[in-house]
Structure 1
Amino acid sequence: MLWLGSGSAKFARYLAATIIAASFATVASAQTADTILFNGKILTVDKDFSQQEALAIGDGKILATGTSAAMKKLAGDKARLVDLGGRTVIPGLTDGHIHGIRAALTFGTEVNWIGVPTLKDALEKIRAAATAQSPGSWIVVAGGWTEAQFAEKRRPTPSEVAAIAPDNPVYIQHLYDWLLLSPKAMEALNIRDDNDVTPGGKLARDGDNKPTGIIEAGGNALGRIFDKLPKPTMEQQVDGSKKFFREMNTLGITGIVDGGGVSMYPASYQAVFKLWRDKQLTVRVAYHLCSPKPGGELADVQNLTQLLPPGFGDSMLHFNGPGEIIIWADWTDGDITPDGKAKLAEFLRWAASNGYTIQLHWNPDRTVHDLLDVIEGIDKDYPVRDLRWAVLHLYNASEDSLKRMKSLGLIWGVQDGLYFGGERLQKEVGAEQARMMPRIATAMKLGLVVGAGTDAHRVSSYNPFVSLQWYLDGTTIGGTKTRGDEEAPSRRQALEMYTRNSAFMANDDDKRGTLEPGKFADLAVLSADYMTAPVNDIGKIRSVLTMVGGKVVYAAPPFAEGR
């Protein structure tokens, strides 16, 4: 066998080569390993949350876990032995609700403000883009930031943006509520009054009644404006997708459940399909589809799914069902009309009768009874318990709503949106109510499956460790603790949310989500011990070695020199 210490040059060359390699060495038998990870802290996340010292990998799957000595006995003659140096290994993380396919399309061409600490630094990124790009080319920040992250605690002004990028149209989106367009962008999009930013958008005006470039609008209006921007070429979309999924790998992510969403059309999936066909995906993708426009949602999805039976695809990419926008009336986060409720019932009845998994966007709790009424009616004819339907968001879910969800076998997909929006929530409902939101601990006591995710990248960061830290401490990006500890999950529970539970949402829990024999060797070796690191340091954790199906998709020192 080949001995590879964690700092050796041979090991670094091996890891670099295997990033795009088709497979590790052929195993001699079902019980012969081609890779051994030893001298570590293996968090298997099995039903007992057992901890082991080593694991053996063969043909892309976990063969066994146990002591270092026992696992080395399974090594074949050409096996690679990886000394973990005491580091913690977790199952690869699965983001249970993310708009990753959409984010990936423009990841190589957008300006990224995620995690930028000051507005000065953020504006410098705009300046750098304007310097690097030709006059007239678009500069786009499509979300993923909030003013609370900046030391200045404010958003950019139109005059600041115009001064640093006078010759470029600039688009800066804040979540799904606010947009800044530079003068060149306003001109290019021919936006002059409120009629140009429908439905419901409002142009801010100065003292002379001239538009400033600030637009206050919801998701529908912002989506329509975004759709008017020039699209990256297919080559740029594929390149951006590669870069985005590699970025996921640096964070220990090996799988995502993609929610589809605003500005997603059939053509939007071609880049990820190409990576899949070319066997270049480094993240397992379970994707959902929704109607790209209001009106005729059921007919649109029926047309899209004619050749997409439940689960269509393979272990790297598969169709996971309709969602997250079932009908656009339920995406407004307000009251649903009787007509909208009837359309929702028709759609969900069709989905249940065809055995589809569903992801359902829903806020707030005061109207979720409309959704649960519909599902209870359908459940009488088509039991939904085994369909793994998930209600997403619902940050203010009451205990009564959670009990109804449990009785129907629904999953609760909880994202870290309040990491960005906790202060706003406090102002809306008061500190005492906000400290109970979301009721993660209550949901777990009731026995619900609670999945984790980010909803990135327009409304949040895609960093799962930032998300894990927020689940545990309830503290916003601005440093305000808005949720009380009584509704916090334990570290074990939070990790289960991001591994086995999110794999369950992807209908993949029999294949991944834990480090158990027979499952895919999807794993991450961490830069710090998730179980013992100070809570306020969890957001700083990164992967130093990520594997998908036993293949190295990311390696950092000491496992790869020069990375």
Structure 2
Amino acid sequence: MAPELILYRGKITTLDPEHPEVRAIAMEGGKIVAVGDDREVRGLADSKTVEIDLNLRRVIPGLNDSHLHVIRAGLFFNLELRWDGVPSLSLALEQLKQQAERTPPPQWVRVIGGWNEFQFAEGRLPTLEELNTAAPETPVFLLHLYDSAMLNQAALRALGFNRSTPNPPGGLIARDTQGNPTGLLIAEPSALILYSTIANAPKLSLEDQINSTRHYLRELNRFGVTSVCDAGGGGQNYPDDYEVVSKLHQAGHLTVRVAYSLFAQKPGSELADYTRWLDITKPGSGDALLKVNGAGENLVWSAADFENFLQPRPDLRPTMESELEGVVRKLAENQWPWRIHATYDESIGRFLDLFEKVHRDHPIDKLQWFIDHAETVTPQNLERIAKLGGGIAIQHRMAYQGEYYIRRYGVESAKRRPPLRQMMKMGLPIGAGTDGTRVASYHPWTCLWWMVTSKTVGGTVLCDEADRLTREEALRLYTEGSAWFSREQGKKGRLAIGALADLAVLSDDYFAVDDDQIRGLESVLTVVDGRVVYANDEFAKHSPPLPPVSPDWSPITKWGGYDNSRPVPPVRAHQPILGADGRVWQTSCGCGM
């Protein structure tokens, strides 16, 4: 049978050591059936084969985000004003002002994470006064990573917050000298205050949620993302909140492969949740486009060590082990892999004590379980993870919190957070990702750029050169590295015969552009399962149709998603960051050490 799709005259990086770079690739039945030179591959075509001239563009395996909250993000994408990548606060506030004017009551304007003040030319956060000036009547919820949120006066009125409103669980309401809420919510000791507050805002209808998810998947395709390990999320209940992604799959509209984990929702009921879920589904249930991956990233709420470097490291409760053990034993007994959120080495050590205990009764070293984040993990605990057969899913959270980390823990500590080079030397399974859309942006090229340059979005250089990755190393972590985390190694991440036909044709050459231009890359042709799911520039005629954004007042209709207009970090006059160790770290250039 002749191939359905052939791409030729390209610079195709396969990541296959037998054929590292080829000119042409053929796809049939969702798989790669041939790679090689133009003549031999094009010779397989018949009259029905679609052939596309790549014009010598760089091609890479499709990007695979090992930690993205894609299902939750899709449900809300059309409701959100994304400040991801916006280069100046003045532009961000103008967007907010215009969107407030376009948003009908009772809807809110929501800026839900994925940005920080260091990305702005002004180098600062907006003030509450600026929010109220930009949006005097429309409620605004402005989430800053996962450490705080700002509400304008209209939002305070909509929520009914006043002097007598108590602090909700998991946070503080900032107040003026008279006790009135100012509009600032502080996530301390956890992000529950942020979850619970935004949950009061109106949601989209089911029809609009389907539309929203389609547009979010298209946004990921725009950057060459073809696969995701979905990490669940607060408020994402199984199976109810999986209806939209299931409907898209049934309709043939799922343009990103999703392997999803089941996230415990209610403190105190985690074991009951997993006991129920084990009765109705199992890892691998589904197919290559949509399937159950396992449990996590939240196994029990008492094990969540909040990822906010503006606050001191939280101490997990003494009861954590007893609560976590029941869940982990249940999973191990039933051969369910899990992922578990762990920012700090202290948490990881306690988890490993428990995992080792369970392993003695129910071996876990073949399950492909893994730690999410692990910014401060030590060599000793890396060795323990390796012995138990675990992996580590890393993200670019330090690109968004690096300056905060330096202020609290100092310059030297920030240099190997997370210790990527050491993990690689040990041969640990590592998958790259973003943790989008709240604590960091979903933008994959910021992560690849961060791994190569060790820069924050504000331009602060964190790591010594020896601890930075080469471009090929970074790309491998974001492709074949991430495949391990859904137990699909050998099927994804390489452009080799028999592998899944997922790839991205890039706007510029990843291996040739200047370092800071890596962050500006996009896909101009994205293929998933052997079919074109996104196309732009000279390939635009191949782009499949997409319904208009709904509702029509959505911020996405006017502003789109990630702002990729200025990938280079802002140039500011060497603003110093005073580290906890008394040393000064310079932004923008990394000099003055």
**TM-score when normalising by structure 1:** 0.91
- How far the C-alpha of 1:533 sits from its partner, in A, is 1.9
**1:273 alignment partner AA:** S
Equivalent of 2:266 in 280, 287, 293: 293
Q: 544-553 or 258-267, which moves further after superposition?
A: 258-267
What does 1:141-152 align with in structure 2 at a 5 Å threshold?
141-152=111-122
Q: Classify the secondary structure of the residue corresponding to 1:204.
A: strand
CA offset digits 1:120-166 (Å, max 9, x no partner): 11111111112112244311111111111112222222221122211
Query: What are the within-5 Å matches in structure 2 for residues 122-521 of structure 1?
Result: 122-192=92-162, 196-217=166-187, 218-266=190-238, 267-333=240-306, 334-521=314-501
Asked if structure 2 preserves the Cα contact closer than 8 Å seen for 1:285 and 1:318, the reply is yes
Alignment match of 2:67 (pick from 83, 97, 100): 97
Following superposition, the deviation at residue 332 of structure 1 comes to 3.1
Partner of 1:70: 40
| Aligned residue number for residue 524 of structure 1 | 504
Q: Kindly provide the CA deviation profile for residues 202-238 of structure 1, in whole angstroms up to 9, marking residues without a partner as x.
A: 2222344322111111312211222222221111211
Mapped to 2, the partners of 1:341 and 1:305 lie a distance apart of: 21
Tell me the amino acid that sits aligned with residue 477 of structure 2.
M
Q: What residue in structure 2 maps to residue 15 of structure 1?
A: none
In the alignment, residue 46 of structure 1 is paired with which amino acid?
A: D
- SS of the residue corresponding to residue 176 of structure 1 reads coil
Distance 1:562 1:492 in 2: 29
For residue 475 of structure 1, report the CA deviation from its aligned partner. Answer: 0.4
The change in CA–CA distance for 1:347 and 1:65 in structure 2 (over 3 A counts) is: same
The CA RMSD measured in Å over matched residues stands at 1.7
Deviation at 1:561, TM superposition (A): 5.3
Distance change (3 Å), C-alpha of 1:542 and 1:186: same
Residue type of the alignment partner of 1:259? A
Which residue type is aligned with residue 274 of structure 1?
Answer: K
Is the Cα contact below 8 Å between 1:501 and 1:513 reproduced in 2?
Answer: yes
> 2:69, 2:435 within 8 Å by CA — same for their partners in 1?
yes
Query: Following the alignment from structure 2 to structure 1, what is the Cα–Cα distance between the partners of residues 130 and 424?
Result: 47
Distance apart, 1:70 and its partner CA: 1.4
Is the alpha carbon distance of 1:423 and 1:107 closer, same or farther for their aligned partners in structure 2, counting shifts above 3 Å?
Answer: same
Q: Is the 8 A contact 1:147 1:154 kept in 2?
A: yes
- Deviations, residues 427-467 of structure 1 (Å, cap 9, x unaligned): 11111121122111110100101100100001111111111
Displaced runs of 4+ in structure 1, greater than 6 A? none
Query: Bigger CA drift: 127-136 or 450-459?
Result: 127-136
Deviates more, 1:83-92 or 1:259-268: 259-268
Per-residue CA deviations over 1:500-527 (Å, capped at 9, x if unaligned) read: 1112212222432211111221110111
Q: In structure 2, what is the Cα distance between the partners aligned to 1:137 and 1:75?
A: 52
Pairwise mapping of residues 28-107 of structure 1 onto structure 2 (< 5 A)? Answer: 29=1, 32-47=2-17, 50-107=20-77
Q: Describe the shift of the 1:72–1:562 C-alpha distance in structure 2 as closer, same or farther (beyond 3 A).
A: closer
Preserved contact between residue 194 and residue 202 of structure 1 (Cα < 8 Å): no
Query: 1:227–1:92: structure 2 CA closer, same or farther, 3 Å change rule?
Result: same
CA distance in 2, matches of 1:385, 1:489: 28
Question: Secondary structure at the residue paired with 1:264?
Answer: coil
Aligned residues of 1:437 and 1:487 also touching (Cα < 8 A)? no
- Is the Cα–Cα contact under 8 Å of residues 361 and 393 in structure 1 kept in the other structure? yes
> Residue 549 of structure 1 corresponds to which residue in structure 2?
529
Instruction: Give identity over the alignment, percent.
Output: 38
Partner Cα distance (1:49, 1:404) in 2: 35
Letter in 2 for 1:91: P
Task: Check whether the contact 2:302–2:323 (CA below 8 A) recurs between aligned residues.
Answer: no
Q: Residues 193 and 203 of structure 1 are in contact (CA less than 8 Å); yes or no, is this contact kept in structure 2? A: no
| Structure 2 Cα separation of the partners of residues 409 and 47 of structure 1 | 25
Separation in 1 of the partners of 2:105 and 2:207?
22
Counterpart residue identity of residue 352, structure 2: L
Structure 1 residues 331-384: Cα deviation after superposition (integer angstroms, max 9, x where no partner): 134333332112212211111111112111012012311111111122222222
Of 417-426 and 136-145, more deviation after overlay is shown by: 136-145
When residues 123 and 261 of structure 1 are mapped into structure 2, their CA distance, relative to the original with a 3 A threshold, is same
Q: Is the 8 A contact 1:142 1:458 kept in 2?
A: yes
Q: State how far apart, in whole Å, the 2-side matches of 1:117 and 1:493 are.
A: 29
Question: What is the distance in 1 between the residues matched to 2:373 and 2:164?
Answer: 30
State the one-letter code of the partner of 2:75: L
SS at match of 1:459: coil
Larger CA deviation: 495-504 vs 376-385? 376-385
Structure 1 unmatched runs, 5+ = 1-28
After alignment, is 482-491 or 365-374 more displaced? Answer: 482-491
Residue 397 of structure 1 and its aligned partner are, at CA, apart by 1.4
Cα 1:514–1:118 change in 2 (3 A) is same
**Cα pair 1:92 1:254 within 8 Å, conserved:** yes
Q: Deviations over 1:457-503 (max 9, x none)?
A: 01111111111000111100111101222222222221111111112
Secondary structure (helix, strand or coil) at the match of 2:179 reads coil
The one-letter code of the counterpart of 2:462 is T
8 A contact 2:113–2:438 mirrored in 1 = yes
Letter of the aligned partner of 1:184 in structure 2?
Answer: A
C-alpha contact (below 8 Å) 2:275/2:330 kept by paired residues = no
The answer to whether the 8 Å contact 1:41/1:51 transfers is yes
Question: Whole-Å Cα distance in 2 between the matches of residues 77 and 524 of structure 1?
Answer: 25
Preserved CA contact (<8 Å) 2:221 2:256? yes
* Counterpart secondary structure, 1:214: strand
CA distance 1:156–1:493, change in 2 (3 Å): same
Shift of 1:262: 1.6
Q: 1:356, 1:387 within 8 Å by CA — same for their partners in 2? A: yes
CA distance, structure 2, for counterparts of residue 232 and residue 301 of structure 1: 28
Within the candidate set 113, 118, 124, 2:83 is matched to 113
Return the alpha-carbon distance in structure 1 between the equivalents of residues 16 and 340 of structure 2.
28
Residues 399 and 450, structure 2, Cα contact 8 Å, conserved in 1: yes
Contact 1:194 1:201 in 2 (8 A): no
